[in-house]
Amino acid sequence: MKEAIALKKTNTKKLVLSALFCALIFVATAALPLPLGNGGYVNLGDTLIAVAAFFLGPVYGFLAAGMGSAAADLFLSYGIYAPVTFVIKGSMALVYVLVFRPFVKTKACVPMAFVAALASECLMVGGYFAFECALYGYAGALVNVPGNLIQAAVGVAASTTLVSLFAHNKYLLKNSQMNFSFI
């Protein structure tokens, strides 16, 4: 009986945190966009995707990142991108956790936070490039790569800084999902 209650509390906590990060990612993406000349925009959503992955783990991080980012695309009238954004941004959280988790309590924590962010941002740039190749052709997709690279650089720098700070805080680390099962 106690185990069922503990499991219910854990699931409720994960759902609430997932909804919170979904909303934060949406706001960081939709409310703070910096427009680029090619029609795209730079935002802080990728930073919060890494933070969500840190606190939620791969499954709930995937869902929060995907839903928050896709909702922002819909809000900003990039609806054609929303399904692809869900997969790409969700996958970014998954990659982040898988790369960073083994190193979270080691001396390699900060460099691996950077590597995890870089890996997830490479997925973002490559994923959007592949989608835009199908949508606009190679030349049309190539035009958007510089903006995505700027977005990636912002995401890597900001998320490495934040997650490194969180990983060195014993309370926050204890309450993250970096040390728990895959779900």
Q: Give the C-alpha separation, 55 to 80, whole Å.
A: 29
CA distances from 119 to 41, 97, 112 (A): 21, 11, 10
At 178, list the tokens: 């970096």
pLDDT of res. 182: 38
pLDDT of res. 155: 94
- Which domains does the chain carry? 2-174 (1.10.1760.20)
Burial class, 55, CB count within 10 angstroms (exposed 0-12 / middle 13-18 / buried 19+)? buried
pLDDT of res. 17: 93
Cβ–Cβ < 8 Å for 58, 98: yes
Burial class, 76, CB count within 10 angstroms (exposed 0-12 / middle 13-18 / buried 19+)? middle
- How many angstroms separate the most distant Cα atoms in the chain? 60
pLDDT of res. 152: 94
SS (H, E, C) 127-146: HHHHHHHHHHCHHHHHHHHH
Neighbour count for residue 176 (Cβ, 10 Å)? 21
Cβ–Cβ < 8 Å for 89, 65: yes
User: Which SS3 state, helix, strand or coil, does residue 36 take?
Assistant: coil
Q: Give the C-alpha separation, 8 to 156, whole Å.
A: 35
pLDDT of res. 4: 52
Strand partners, 34: 42
pLDDT of res. 181: 42
Residues present in the chain in total:
183
Can you give the pLDDT of all 183 residues of the chain as single tens digits? 555 555 566 688 889 999 999 999 999 999 877 877 766 678 899 999 999 999 999 999 999 999 999 999 999 999 999 999 999 999 999 999 999 988 888 888 899 999 999 999 999 999 999 999 999 999 999 998 998 999 999 999 999 999 888 887 777 777 676 654 433
Helix extents (H) in 34-80: 45-75
Residues 6 or more apart whose Cβ sits within 8 Å of residue 18: 52, 56, 60, 63, 64
